[in-house]
Structure 1
């Protein structure tokens, strides 16, 4: 799953950097790419616009400062009839957060809904706790309330959504 491209909706795709290949980009009709890495160069494909969001996958990284910019870009590409691919190194933390932010801002999904929408299309997603905090703040700014909260555990705070998933998957915790 990590190396596959996941289709989020008719104009939005999510994947790891390893899946970003010129022939696949062309076959999907991708017109824009958002590269959410510091470590990987943009793919050079004629007539495909690439934007790099230089953020590391660490809990202290400030990905949230790009949520509006990326969501606006995804919406602009959608409205112009294009298709956009968002990737990070593994397609697990940074790029799913950007897609979640888009769904919240433009599809008016709550954070929990947006997370499950992406998770149903790309099972491997697992944003780091710092990015969860930023998504929670983004949801509060957009909707004035939160559907996900951070809860304490023996190893530090986690989003309650992870605890719910563990209960569902394993019947424990």
Structure 2
């Protein structure tokens, strides 16, 4: 290896490879992608993973997981690897847990590991190759299980913190099935005795300093298409009570939210 290459490690993975020429790293498999239609390296994403739950849960890519110095700076001690074929680089420095199968995603296995990390007050990184699909789905499933949030709320919480998240169709389908497994198809069964009205669905208020996410109750083509707060209509209200025996068309004409919109989301799954 030439002297210049020894003194010029990759800015993403920290290993020595000809990243400027698009060469794949022989250690971790990282490749610095070039801009579309250009021959120069693109601006890479942040070396830091996304903090989803304060002082506990982080979401990121394999690039993030390959930077041990960054992980140590964030006091991350555990890593959940959602890609079975992905190499664990620092087994002597971090506690790893690997999902065993590509599909379907094993939400129960992942949640068991994450719940143990939370009980032990350990900081954990959940990662896939890009931090946009598999790992994001795992984190959304954990929020549903541990916080009691429905899928739309959990996904919005993750998307707000990591805007580049983009779930594949398979991940969306598996999350919808997991939501039905946790909550069933009845919205009424989700309302506990003590509810947190500002959530709009009667969910319990999360403990600690975590602010519960709001959820758009309009009927959308997909719950995974996030609606910006600026797009919420002026007559939109949270916590709207379900009105029994009222024609949905009449409600729409009066300017109120269709009380069956949440049911429609579940029926569409």
TM range (shorter): 0.7 to 0.9
1:142 aligns to 2:186 (yes or no): no
Q: TM-score, with normalisation over the residues of structure 2?
A: 0.52
More strand by share: 1
Flag the 1:106–1:162 CA change in 2: closer, same or farther, 3 A.
closer
Residue pairs, 1:17-166, within 5 angstroms: 17-20=62-65, 21-56=67-102, 61-63=103-105, 66-145=106-185, 160-163=222-225, 165=227
Q: Which one has more relative contact order, counting CA pairs under 8 Å at least 6 apart?
A: 1
Tell me, in whole angstroms, the C-alpha distance in 1 between the residues paired with 2:47 and 2:186: 32
Q: How many residues align?
A: 152
More helix by share: 1
Tell me, in whole angstroms, the C-alpha distance in 2 between the residues paired with 1:106 and 1:163: 23
Flag the 1:90–1:164 CA change in 2: closer, same or farther, 3 A.
closer
Tell me, in whole angstroms, the C-alpha distance in 2 between the residues paired with 1:95 and 1:89: 9
Q: Which has the larger radius of gyration?
A: 2
Question: What is the RMSD computed on CA atoms of the aligned residues?
Answer: 2.4
Tell me, in whole angstroms, the C-alpha distance in 2 between the residues paired with 1:3 and 1:47: 19
* Structure 2: gaps of 5 or more residues: 1-44, 188-220, 232-269
Is residue 84–residue 99 contact of structure 2 (8 Å, CA) maintained in 1? yes
Tell me, in whole angstroms, the C-alpha distance in 2 between the residues paired with 1:41 and 1:108: 33
Shift of 1:71: 1.0
Write the deviation string for residues 58-113 of structure 1: whole angstroms up to 9, x where unpaired: xxx311xx101111211110111111100000000000011011000011110000
Q: Of 1, 8, 15, which residue of structure 1 is paired with 2:60?
A: 15
Number of the residue aligned with 2:236: none
Shift of 1:40: 2.1
Q: TM-score, with normalisation over the residues of structure 1?
A: 0.79
Tell me, in whole angstroms, the C-alpha distance in 1 between the residues paired with 2:121 and 2:100: 26
Flag the 1:28–1:164 CA change in 2: closer, same or farther, 3 A.
closer
Tell me, in whole angstroms, the C-alpha distance in 1 between the residues paired with 2:49 and 2:133: 15
* Structure 1: gaps of 5 or more residues: 148-158
Tell me, in whole angstroms, the C-alpha distance in 2 between the residues paired with 1:108 and 1:100: 11
Number of the residue aligned with 1:5: 49
Write the deviation string for residues 2-45 of structure 1: whole angstroms up to 9, x where unpaired: 75410001200000101121111111111210111134201215
Flag the 1:16–1:76 CA change in 2: closer, same or farther, 3 A.
same
